[in-house]
Structure 1
């Protein structure tokens, strides 16, 4: 498909106009991470869950504090009476619409003094759940930092590829002008001129596709930072690597500080505490109980007490123990022990997977480093070949096909170098994330 110069210019102008130029500014990786951590919904959700765990970690929730309840009742009655007495000792009593009322006000307290140390176990359990919530938040933060970092360097990769294709297009443009001039003065063939035109159009199409990919990557990145999708920004188009990472250090650090592994260990602690908590429920429970009640009565009937009140205070100690509940408590303890065994297996599985992932990422990392060295050399040779081939083409020694092949090799060599640097950087980020060093 042939794309005219005017059509290409309009398409590029439209693509660039997607982003408002007045909003364009430099964006560092550190600033992007800060915005992501502040705005991203996953961080907000993780922090709210962590706050829930903090709210649950109280003495009252563990059972250390007494429970006090109050009650108030007020009852009204309307009744009728028709009574006759033996021996005519008194006249018959006939009444209707007799209004009476009574009230009862009370407060009761139960304070557990001993429950087989269950309250102490629950206190420690809530503390570990709070620690677990903090570690889960940390894991969420590290995952987001890794994602933002990899996406940031993907933008750099896309930008470098755009510049690479632009350089290739410049060569094609110079070749097209030279072929056209030769054809017009009768020193070149029409085939060479048309071939140069087709190759130029092909390179323009490749550049347009790459610019579209670059803009799409920016839109995704803005979405990741939870900000206006069309905000434009610039990045420093270099991919710098850290000093070479060491495999054994990464594995040792991961086994000590990887937040997902620490979360699994905390889950194992919680599972062990669940066993102890259920076992404590087999012990007697001793409660301190106390209460106070105040009652009043207003009797509208013409006999008995017309009105009165009373107050009662009671206190004492109550003891209870589960003697038999259909072996349900035993069943719950057995299941809790199985859960603890599962949690232990999950820790071992996570350790195994963690070390495996580090080793696989390190293989990718080393391979990318080796490719960088190789492709750096290839790119240097390819650039020299471009200069030589173009000079030969100017004097008519090299053919149009030879120049095109040299040009393609140069573009491909730089593309491979860009991809190798990006692969090394993403592997580096993943290794740091797995080792728990991103924070």
Structure 2
């Protein structure tokens, strides 16, 4: 048996403690406290959908540069080393003793060329005029605007999802606290009833009735803890937060402001991001029509090239002889004359597509009107419902407290207390359901008016 000396044992214990502490720190990261606005801001930076939308916007910016490159000089270099292992023959008519030994007037095949040739050249092309290039550049910039609008649309969707998830956590936490209060209240009632039963002031059935209610609340309390955990997981997912990060919500549900109708006095359809997106698509379609029509115009390019070449009968001598230069510079024009009415049909198709976008804009305006009307009606109804359920909860609480006092004084029945307790709990549940629905209807109304973000 080995005996570990005390200093060594102390060192090992210290190292083990440090290791366990480091592991525990890695498994339990520092908690994060966020208000509703901070949760939305964090999501707009870390949510994966927002990140992808941001990348799409950057891709659109790069596409503008790609199209712009077509208007800059295009320079190419070419080099070649060829072994003409079978030189092409050219058919010529012999004349004036050439080729020797062939009578005049006869056809003869001759090889013009040498076995090895080499050369290199540089070519430059500079666009002088191309109508479709400038329209394409304008379209690319407009497409970049559409990408920005898509990015904003993604942010609005994420802000909506985070807000609803945040409210879900707040309400579920309140529901859990409510269940815990009910649990404590029934626990006290159960103990009091058991004491009364032991002293002969209550029957066994009275104890059983309370015990049934107590057991139900106990199970409900465990279930609501799982619901709170699940709603927090949904919020973390929407925020782009790691699942194991403890989250503390600093916005209290009682401090949340409801809809401010002062913000919608000057409402226009342009406030809705979908309407702005549709207008940009219409602009892109008009540019597409211009682009097709621009293809009727001639294209003019400045071209220049310079090269040198050489050749020999053997490979080792092909680079030793003189090189012969060649070069040219000029303008090259391409003029479309007739394409079988192809471009005309393309223009007609795009004009019809532009008309479809006009119809879609009118339909979108009608849809926005309907969404606003529905969201406004739902909001007003949910606010009224929440206020009514709050009043019911307060009244049912008074009824329960009176029934409890009467029961303790011996002038009320156990059944009356149980019924009042059940009614009170149901009123509480109804209130928090109405509260959540009211908060959600506020978000829907903000989105309908285009003021969510």
TM-score category, normalised to shorter length:
0.7 to 0.9
> TM-score under structure 1 normalisation?
0.84
2:309 is the alignment partner of 1:295: yes
2:121 is the alignment partner of 1:114: no
Q: What does residue 13 of structure 1 align with?
A: none
2:348 to 334, 341, 347: 334
1:426 to 440, 443, 447: 440
2:418 is the alignment partner of 1:404: yes
Q: What does residue 51 of structure 2 align with?
A: 44
Q: Is the 8 A contact 2:114 2:311 kept in 1?
A: no
Q: Is the 8 A contact 2:310 2:321 kept in 1?
A: yes
Q: What does residue 92 of structure 1 align with?
A: none
Q: What does residue 383 of structure 1 align with?
A: 397
Q: What does residue 133 of structure 1 align with?
A: 147
Superposed CA offset, 1:336-385 (max 9, x none): 11221222222222222222222211111111111222222222222222
Secondary structure in 2 matching 1:186: coil
Q: Is the 8 A contact 2:32 2:245 kept in 1?
A: no
Secondary structure in 1 matching 2:304: strand
Q: What does residue 222 of structure 1 align with?
A: 236
Secondary structure in 1 matching 2:240: coil
2:368 is the alignment partner of 1:361: no
Q: What does residue 83 of structure 2 align with?
A: 76
- Structure 1 position 131, deviation (Å): 0.6
Q: Is the 8 A contact 1:251 1:355 kept in 2?
A: no
Superposed CA offset, 1:216-246 (max 9, x none): 1112222222333233323244244435433
Q: Distance in 2 between matches of 1:77 and 1:367?
A: 89
> TM-score under structure 2 normalisation?
0.81
- Structure 1 position 112, deviation (Å): 2.5
Q: Distance in 2 between matches of 1:170 and 1:396?
A: 22
1:190 to 204, 216, 228: 204
Q: What does residue 16 of structure 2 align with?
A: none
Q: What does residue 34 of structure 1 align with?
A: 41
2:110 is the alignment partner of 1:103: no
Relative distance call for 1:335 and 1:173 in structure 2 (3 A) is same
Q: Distance in 1 between matches of 2:261 and 2:44?
A: 29
Q: Is the 8 A contact 2:237 2:243 kept in 1?
A: yes
Relative distance call for 1:241 and 1:362 in structure 2 (3 A) is farther
Q: Distance in 2 between matches of 1:21 and 1:392?
A: 50
Superposed CA offset, 1:244-301 (max 9, x none): 4339x64853512222221111111001100000011012222222222221223349
Can you give the 5+ residue segments of structure 1 that lack an aligned partner in the other structure?
A: 1-19, 88-97
Q: What does residue 438 of structure 1 align with?
A: 452
Can you give the 5+ residue segments of structure 2 that lack an aligned partner in the other structure?
A: 1-26, 88-98, 103-112
- Structure 1 position 35, deviation (Å): 2.8
Superposed CA offset, 1:103-151 (max 9, x none): 2211222223223x32221121111101111110011011101111110
Q: Aligned ranges for residues 290-329 of structure 1 at < 5 Å?
A: 290-300=304-314, 307-329=321-343
Q: Distance in 1 between matches of 2:348 and 2:124?
A: 34
Q: What does residue 180 of structure 1 align with?
A: 194
Q: What does residue 7 of structure 2 align with?
A: none
Q: Distance in 1 between matches of 2:324 and 2:380?
A: 87
Secondary structure in 2 matching 1:372: helix
Q: Is the 8 A contact 2:308 2:325 kept in 1?
A: yes
1:275 to 289, 301, 318: 289
Q: Distance in 1 between matches of 2:357 and 2:132?
A: 22
2:363 to 349, 352, 363: 349
Q: Aligned ranges for residues 12-31 of structure 1 at < 5 Å?
A: 23-24=30-31, 26-31=33-38
Relative distance call for 1:333 and 1:251 in structure 2 (3 A) is farther
Secondary structure in 1 matching 2:249: coil
Relative distance call for 1:293 and 1:57 in structure 2 (3 A) is same
